């Protein structure tokens, strides 16, 4: 059996679910542990069902204990003391695609697996497009959302995602901080204007103050849906934009992936992380600026 540890925010969970479907398509017995990845992460919860109505096979505690060699009976503890622990846990230490993950028969997969190389099967991609569908009638409840929907669908719209917040906190800023800075957004905006002179920019962020100072102008619209389920509303609106300027964020990544228009332009930073390579997160459709 293979068990995938669900963890992180919505975008990360979408990558883990994509791997889950790919492994199932390869004939593996796969389940998801949607408990242990959130025990020490009080800010996040399993979100796939709440946002998309997705269900999956859940691993129970006995199955997790078995694959990680975590039995607590006396005999098992003695064996571990004498012979070491024989856990099948695979910990993703880099951001690079690892083909061996798709070849495993027994494992506890602990990582983010942020690459479309982990889900290349055409049927899997088709299933993901169905599973990750958000319908305006089911998501939007506020007049603000419907007005943004009208503007985005009727203009040469570009989403700009600005992720700050937790990216500035100690322990996180070392990995993600300083990449999508003012210069990056300036370069990306100028490139979009050179390609599409009539664009309208829609800014998605939790740091509106910073964006008003650094990512603003006559053609810029600060998105505020006033929705209780803001994650779903923002993700849907971002995906409906014609083109995208991404932050180094999996949430950004999926908003552009959900837009399957072959004419879209997706601009991304030249590096994704500060402390390790993550080059396999880039797709063929992305342009580094």
Cα-flanking dihedrals φ and ψ of residue 209, to 5°? Answer: -60, -45
**In the prediction, which pLDDT does 176 show?**
74
pLDDT tens readout for residues 161-206: 998 766 656 666 677 778 889 999 999 999 999 999 999 999 999 8
Q: Per-residue DSSP letters for 71-114?
A: --SHHHHHHHHHH-----EEE--SSS--GGGGG-SSEEEES---
Stretch among 128-132, 180-184, 242-246 having the lowest mean pLDDT: 180-184
The DSSP symbol for 108 reads E
Q: Render pLDDT for 85-104 as a digit per residue (tens, 0 to 9).
A: 668 999 998 889 999 999 99
Model pTM greater than 0.85? yes
Report the share of the chain in percent with pLDDT over 90: 80
For residue 194, what are the CA distances in angstroms to 93, 191, 199, 238?
39, 5, 10, 21
Q: The tokens of 207 are what?
A: 């740091």
Mean pLDDT computed over 215-234: 94
Measured CA distances, 33 to 30, 93, 250, 261 (Å): 10, 19, 20, 34
Q: What is the pLDDT of residues 28-66, one digit of tens each?
A: 999 999 999 999 888 899 999 999 999 999 999 999 998
Residue 92 pLDDT: 94
Domain map of the chain by residue range? 2-131, 136-288
Evaluate whether the domain defined by 136-288 bears CATH number 3.40.50.2300: no
pLDDT digit string (tens) for 64-84? 998 997 655 555 555 555 555
Q: Which two tokens stand for residue 140?
A: 């939007």
What's the pLDDT score for residue 69? 73
């Amino acid at each position: 059996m293979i068990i995938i540890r669900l963890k992180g925010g919505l975008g990360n969970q979408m990558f883990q679910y994509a791997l889950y479907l790919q492994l199932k398509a390869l004939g593996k017995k796969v389940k998801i542990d949607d408990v242990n990845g959130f025990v020490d992460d009080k800010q996040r919860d399993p979100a796939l069902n709440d946002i998309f109505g997705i269900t999956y096979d859940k691993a129970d505690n006995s199955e997790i204990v078995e694959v990680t060699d975590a039995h607590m009976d006396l005999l098992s503890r003695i064996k571990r003391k004498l012979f070491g622990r024989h856990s099948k846990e695979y910990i993703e230490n880099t951001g690079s695609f690892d083909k061996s993950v798709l070849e495993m028969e027994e494992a506890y997969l602990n990582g983010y697996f942020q690459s479309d190389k982990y889900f290349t099967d055409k049927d899997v991609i088709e299933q993901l497009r169905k599973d990750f569908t958000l319908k305006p009638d089911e998501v939007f409840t506020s007049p603000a959302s419907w007005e943004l929907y009208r503007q985005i669908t009727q203009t040469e719209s570009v989403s700009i995602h600005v992720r700050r917040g937790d990216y500035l906190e100690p322990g996180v800023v070392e990995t993600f901080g300083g990449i999508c800075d003012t210069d990056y957004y300036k370069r990306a905006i100028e490139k979009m204007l050179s390609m599409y002179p009539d664009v309208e920019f829609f800014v998605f962020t939790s740091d509106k103050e910073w964006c008003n100072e650094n990512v603003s102008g006559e053609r810029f619209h600060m998105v505020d849906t006033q929705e209780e389920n803001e994650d779903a509303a923002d993700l849907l609106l971002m995906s409906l934009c014609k083109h995208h300027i991404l932050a180094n964020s999996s949430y950004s990544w999926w908003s552009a992936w959900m837009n399957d228009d072959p004419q879209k332009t997706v601009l991304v930073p030249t590096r994704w992380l500060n402390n390790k390579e993550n080059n396999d997160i880039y797709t063929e459709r992305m342009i580094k600026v």
